[in-house]
Structure 1
Amino acid sequence: MFSSAEIGIDLGTANLLVYSKDKGIILNEPSVVAMNVETNEVLAVGLEAKNMVGKTPGNIVAMRPLKDGVIADFDVTATMLKHIMKQVSKSAGLSMRKPNVVVCAPSGSTSVERRAILDAVRSCGAKQVEIIEEPVAAAIGADLPVDEPVANVVVDIGGGTTEVAIISFGGVVSCNSVRIGGDKIDEDIIQYIRKNYNVLIGERTAEQVKIEIGYAPIDHEVLTMEVRGRDLVSGLPKTIELKSTEIQYAINESLLQILEALRATLEDCPPELSGDIVDRGVILTGGGSLMNGFQEWLTDEIDVPVHLAPSPLEAVAIGTGRSLSMIAKLQKVTV
């Protein structure tokens, strides 16, 4: 048992994080792979590949093999994991011959999707692979007492999915998973600019817009930003100026769906646990929770205190790694 290393992997739609018990987060890379389509050769993985998105010649494709938190392209995911494992064993200097791995899967994923995750991780030489539900991992990573009989409400807004769960006594009491996350919000921004300005922008530009002037509340200090894209009428490059109020309008629909998932989960909550929620509030994790004004907006909408996890982006990976010591407890509750 002690001879093999133990690692936790957060196989995210946007980022792939690896956590080791001794060293904490040892790897945090975008889940992007750049491949040569003609030779099927992997040219770059992670940040290097992300910088190629939308800028490659025809024979090279920079792709994201995970969609909505689950594996969309099995072979590419397996290749990406092998690359990542090589990097990890180099950087951590671990006896990574046969590590024990815990991976997280969205709570809404099917058994087929989970099997794909297990097979992909096994194919890169893991000795033992356990799957933990994403909201449980997020709760452990956010330092919540998941194994006590109190209600812990977690809202994990990732790249592909938003998971809302009430966790008590190591298991999920009620949960909702919507396939809306950072990617959908980027897509909303692209569509809005296309419709209202006849300008096409790329995913990376949309993400930049979201980070800089994306606001959740309607009332906020209005900011402006210059954005460059391709004019769909003339086909020439064009610069437009966007206001943060427009972006708020563009992404409002997606934000309301996240709010709806949270409300539905709270409605399913047993009355005994509802009292805990009023005292303890809701914890936000995942990159999406870092949107400007999101925490305040959610507090106003649900009248329950909303807190941000200590490190929202890394919470799931940290929880996945920490769950190794608790897996026996959790295993009795989660299958």
Structure 2
Amino acid sequence: MGISNYFMQEIAIDLGTANFLVIQEDKIVVDEPSIVAFNRSSGRVLAIGRKAMQMEGKAHDEIRLVRPLKDGVIADFHAAEQMIKGMLQMINANRKQFFSSFRMVICVPCGITEVEKRAIRDSAEITGAKEVYLIHEPIAAAVGIGLDVQEPTGHMIVDIGGGTTEVAVLALSGIVCDQSLRVAGDNFDADIVDYMRQQYNVLIGQPTAEKIKLAVGAAQTEIQDPPADFAVRGRDLISGLPKQVRVSYYDMAECLDRSLAKIEDAILKTLEITPPELSSDIHQSGIYLTGGGALLRGLDQRIAAKTKLPTHVVEDPLRAVVRGTGIALKNIGRFRFLMR
């Protein structure tokens, strides 16, 4: 190992719309929400990640909260740069030795344009990356759950993240056919906010919508072990006073139905354009669900009923993508699907 490489830190990044994860030496060293708080008048960064998240919906006029990624791609270049810089400082804060340069593998949605790829590369390079490799999210997810993507066997991955849902059929180190749609966890939260307003005349914020989704979110009205009803506090739109209502998983299944139907359509469309030889592989192995959206109760049964294919929620779906990105980082020379 040369002197130049000795000070180069190798990290794998899942630059997600909702969460920012970093793996180093096979360990997750950063797992924070993708959000930055700025002072509005000075432009100074006040907080990043969890600390900034605690301010959401509660900040005064002097604090500006920014989610740098929208639909899986960088929407605010300056905020993204500050966020990556802050997250990398978190790694160095835990170590005695300071590394000034990085080799990074970053995962990106498969529907990403060349301009959007450039934006991610530029952000990484400004924060000290000497070598940047990109990997498509569905491939990273497949590698992360232990599938051999270099074989001529077909695998179907449905990765439901915060900003995008990626549906892809993989074989021979590449994506044979895919659909990338901008319907995912953030849309589920927006659906819940609308539903609470229309059904109960209660106004809630995005953080509360996320809590409801985690507590009673469901993909269908009949599920095993249904969760208890959840108490939601918000503002009554008629009186303007604080109000509490209880919502059930049944309400959520109704509320999320339209968004989930769009994801189902994308899966069916992808299956329609899949080459027949790969279709027979998928018929045997089924569909793998990854990403935070895979945790929605009953989603695997709903997709299985629609496609007539075995559907599996992978182990620890939230971290499948970043784990795969970490494995790709260790095998940079061997994996042909990494993009420079």
Q: Provide the TM-score with structure 2 as the length reference.
A: 0.94
Aligned to 2:23: 19
For 1:333 and 1:266, the matched residues in 2 are separated by 25
What does 1:225-264 correspond to in 2, within 5 Å? 225-264=230-269
Quote the offset at 1:138 in angstroms.
1.0
Give the counterpart of 1:163 among 156, 162, 166: 166
For 1:130 and 1:260, the matched residues in 2 are separated by 32
- Please tell me whether residue 300 in structure 1 is matched to residue 305 in structure 2: yes
What does 1:260-279 correspond to in 2, within 5 Å? 260-279=265-284
Q: Which moved more, 1:165-174 or 1:86-95?
A: 86-95
Residue deviations 1:174-230, cap 9 Å, x none?
111110111100100100111122211011111111111111122234742221111
For 1:83 and 1:130, the matched residues in 2 are separated by 20
For 1:177 and 1:107, the matched residues in 2 are separated by 7
What residue identity is the alignment partner of 1:77? Answer: A
Residue deviations 1:304-333, cap 9 Å, x none?
111122221111111112112444454468
Aligned to 1:312: 317
Aligned to 1:28: 31
- Please tell me whether residue 48 in structure 1 is matched to residue 51 in structure 2: yes
For 1:129 and 1:166, the matched residues in 2 are separated by 25
For 2:296 and 2:265, the matched residues in 1 are separated by 18
For 1:54 and 1:226, the matched residues in 2 are separated by 19
Contact 2:19 2:31 in 1 (8 A): yes
Contact 2:133 2:338 in 1 (8 A): no
For 2:186 and 2:337, the matched residues in 1 are separated by 34
Change (3 A) 1:333 1:172: farther
Aligned to 2:215: 212
Aligned to 2:72: 69
**Which consecutive unaligned segments of at least 5 residues does structure 2 have?**
none
**Helix, strand or coil: the match of 1:313?**
helix
Aligned to 1:132: 135
Change (3 A) 1:332 1:11: closer
Aligned to 2:110: 107
**Which consecutive unaligned segments of at least 5 residues does structure 1 have?**
none
- Please tell me whether residue 287 in structure 1 is matched to residue 292 in structure 2: yes
Aligned residues: CA RMSD: 1.7
Contact 1:12 1:158 in 2 (8 A): yes
Contact 2:104 2:133 in 1 (8 A): yes
